[in-house]
A and B are shown apart, each in its own frame.
Chain A
Amino acid sequence: MTIQLDVDRSADVNVDGYHTFKLGEFTFRRDEFFVYIDWPTGSHIMSADAFLRALQRDVAWDFFYGIVNFDGIFGTVNHYGTVDIFAGRYNESYRKAELDYSETVETPVIRETFEAVLSDWTNQSFDPFASPHETGSAFGVKNGDNDAAVTRQRVAAERMVGLPGDQQPRSDEMGYPVNRMFADVDQSEPVVEVEPGFEDEVAAFSLFAYLSRSDVTWNPSVVSVCKDSLACPTTEEYILPIIHGNDRVEWFIQLSDQITWEVEDRDTGAVRSRVVMKAGDVCAMPADIRHQGYSPKRSMLLVWENNSGAIPEAIASGKAPTYPIEF
């Protein structure tokens, strides 16, 4: 059964054509250039394009693993059923000044509200999932919408891409042309010889060709599943629009080209390291950091996750370490 939730949105639009939204004690407004967020102890301003790119990931990932920092002030924490929406909570200065604020809301409520904001504030000229070279402007007064782009479904294979009944390799016919920055990627598919009766088990696909046809950036999609082990490759160009705060260890395997990661303490934002990853490099992101990636050319990254629901509590309670390996 689908429950229709009420989104708290202004009856009228402002002079620039946008609705204002409320979620608990948070208020969200936008104008031609900026988004304004108000809460009982403070307020914040963000560029509209940066806000919409971050909001797009938060919505598409259903609040993802752990913390989605839109920037150093505002973001969400996923508790997998409820979501904390916060301002200044992971900013040492805000906390010391006691200006930080957060509320816990049921996931369906924040999901519905954020989807409504994303739909209302994204103009027809802008695709928040696209690289800056592949989209027009987020700015200006209200000008149509781009619901087809902002409602893309996150792709998740149940066993592996290419198996009968599962997600299938991408093609021109399916609306996934090869990206301009991957025009040199070999498009040949593996040769598979199947004996009769084993069609559901003997399968392979070209992961690199599949990724070369991705129409989005910074959006991991599941291609293979071994119990709770999820291979979530993605293509990256320009800057990860959020600063991801981990609630578990995740791993990066650089499949092509190069990404630089700026790594900070998850709770304070203090700089901890810079990680330069080249093709073939493998690196863990500890469970007590936050990170943001920079990809100067569209690259292929394998994000490897453990989807177990037991991990965040084990790490938060100190029963499990924040780093992956003792050696």
Chain B
Amino acid sequence: MTTITSPAQGGAIQHANYTTTFAALASYEKGGVELIADDARHYAFSNIFDVASTMPAWDRVAVAKNWEYVLETVRAEGTSPWFTASHDEFAICMDAADGEVLVELVKLDMPIATDDVEGAVLVDGDPVGPRMGRIRLKRGHQALLPKGSAYRFVKDGAPGVLLIQTIGGELTQYRWAEICQTV
């Protein structure tokens, strides 16, 4: 096999082409913590795709927690319920399974999550208010889920995976013992 190379600025030789490795629900490989003198639980090591592979669609499972703040993994499959929050949230599409995840946004006439409520809450029924817009996310795209809005996701076809930056709330599920490396 011929290796194509190109000169680097410092005079070394490097490959002319590199392959970036992303993971997906259909293809991921976990690393891990190699313990020398520590407890694996202190690292809460997990994998977003591993977590999403066994969870029901649209459950919000925390994979990271820093005081009140969390990162939630969501298996995107079908149409989600409507959610809302009193603060901004953000969704990163980690896997769109060669498709896209649709985000629908509605400005609520009356806020459902008051300012003292943290984390996402469910909207009962269809949201009441004007449409704000729609966003089509592919892998690596990030969207604002603005405070005071109602939002839902639609993922047709094979399931995808979302990572949501938010605050822990009534919908956040903590399954550390199930998802994390413990030994």
Contact indicator per residue, chain B 135-171, by CB within 8 Å of chain A (1) or not (0): 1111111111010010000000000000101110000
Q: Given that A133-B8, A133-B10, A198-B132 are contacting pairs, would A229 and B33 also be in contact in the complex, using a CB cutoff of 8 Å?
A: no
- B 7-25 contacts with A by CB, 8 A: 8-10, 12, 14, 17-23
Band of interface residues on A: 35 or more
**A270 to B163 alpha-carbon distance, docked (Å):** 34
| Cβ of A184 under 8 Å from chain B | yes
Q: Within 8 Å CB of B1, what residues of A?
A: none
Docked pose: A272 CA to B34 CA in angstroms: 9
Chain B residues within an 8 Å CB radius of A132: 8, 10, 12
Given the known inter-chain contacts A186-B139, A226-B90, please indicate yes or no for A297 contacting B18, CB distance below 8 A.
Answer: yes
Of the residues A203, A227, A278, contact of B23 by C-beta under 8 Å: A278
Residue A202 interfacial (CB < 8 Å): yes
Residue from B10, B44, B92, B141 within 8 A of A324 (CB atoms) = B44
Write the chain B residue with the least CB distance to A276: B31
Q: In the bound complex, what is the Cα–Cα distance between A277 and B141 (angstroms)?
A: 21
- Given known A-B contacts A160-B90, A272-B37, A278-B30, A325 and B176 have beta carbons under 8 A apart: yes
Q: How many Å from the CB of B49 to the closest CB on chain A?
A: 5
- A186 to nearest B CB, angstroms? 7
Hey, which chain B residues are within 8 Å of A201, CB to CB? 105, 132, 144, 146, 149
**Residue contact A325 to B138, C-beta cutoff 8 Å:** no
Residue in chain B with minimal CB distance to A250: B66
**A311 surroundings in chain B (CB, below 8 A):** 67
Per the bound structure, the CA–CA distance linking A287 and B65 in Å amounts to 14
Known A203-B144, A224-B165: A325·B31 in contact at CB below 8 Å: no
Chain A residue numbers with a CB within 8 Å of B9 are 133-136
A198 to B130, CA, bound (A): 10
Q: Is the CB of A298 within 8 A of B18?
A: yes
Contact A282 B37 (CB under 8 A): no
Contacts of A194 in B (CB 8 A): 132-133
Interface string of A227-243 (1 = CB under 8 A from B): 11101000000000000
Stretch among A81-89, A107-115, A253-261 lining the B interface: A253-261
Which A residues touch B22, using CB under 8 A? 208, 255-256, 279
Residues of A262-289 whose CB lies within 8 A of B: 263, 270-286
Which residue of B has the minimal Cβ distance to A279? B23
Nearest-Cβ distance from residue B68 to partner chain A, whole angstroms: 9
Kindly state whether residue A207 has any CB partner on chain B within 8 Å: yes
Give bound CA distance, A6 to B45, whole Å: 47
Q: Is A214 an interface residue (CB 8 A)?
A: no
- Give the distance in Å from the alpha carbon of A134 to the alpha carbon of B11 in the complex: 10
Query: Within the complex, which residue of A133, A229, A231, A276 is in contact with B32, where a contact is CB–CB below 8 Å?
Result: A276
Q: A133-B8, A223-B142, A284-B44 are in contact. Are A273 and B132 (CB under 8 A)?
A: no
Contact of A184 among B14, B19, B36, B48 (CB under 8 A): B19
In the assembled complex, B89 has its CB within 8 A of some CB on chain A: yes
Query: How many contacting A-B pairs (Cβ < 8 A)?
Result: 255
- Cα of A189 to Cα of B100 in the assembled complex, Å: 12
Segment of A13-21, A23-31, A51-59, A175-183 in the binding face: A175-183
B17 CB to nearest chain A CB (Å): 7
Say how far B118's CB is from chain A's closest CB, in angstroms.
Answer: 9
Select from chain B the residue with minimum beta-carbon distance to A322. B42
Minimum C-beta distance from B69 to chain A (A): 4
The reply to whether B90 and A304 form a contact with Cβ atoms under 8 Å apart is: no
B51 smallest CB distance to A (angstroms): 9
Evaluate contact between A278 and B144: CB separation under 8 angstroms: no
Q: B52 to nearest A CB, angstroms? A: 9
Contacts of A224 in B (CB 8 A): 88, 90, 142, 144, 165
C-alpha gap A135/B34 in the complex (Å):
33
Q: How far is the CA of A295 from the CA of B103 in the complex (A)?
A: 34
- How long is the Cα–Cα vector from A136 to B163 in the complex, in angstroms? 38
Q: Which of A256, A263, A284 contacts B21 (CB 8 A)?
A: A256
Contact with A along B39-70 (1 / 0, CB 8 A): 00111111111100000000000011111010
**A19 to B113, alpha carbons, bound, how many Å?**
59
Contact B64 A282 (CB under 8 A): yes
4 smallest CB-CB distances across A and B, nearest first, come from A208-B140, A276-B31, A279-B23, A327-B176
| Given A224-B165, A278-B29, 5 new contacts (CB under 8 A) | A160-B88, A190-B136, A281-B46, A283-B45, A284-B42
- B residues bordering A, Cβ < 8 Å? 8-10, 12, 14, 17-23, 28-38, 41-50, 63-67, 69, 71, 87-90, 92, 94, 103, 105, 107, 130-144, 146, 149, 163, 165-167, 174, 176-177, 180
What are 8 A-B interface contacts by the 8 Å CB criterion? A133-B9, A133-B12, A135-B9, A198-B133, A201-B149, A204-B103, A282-B46, A283-B33
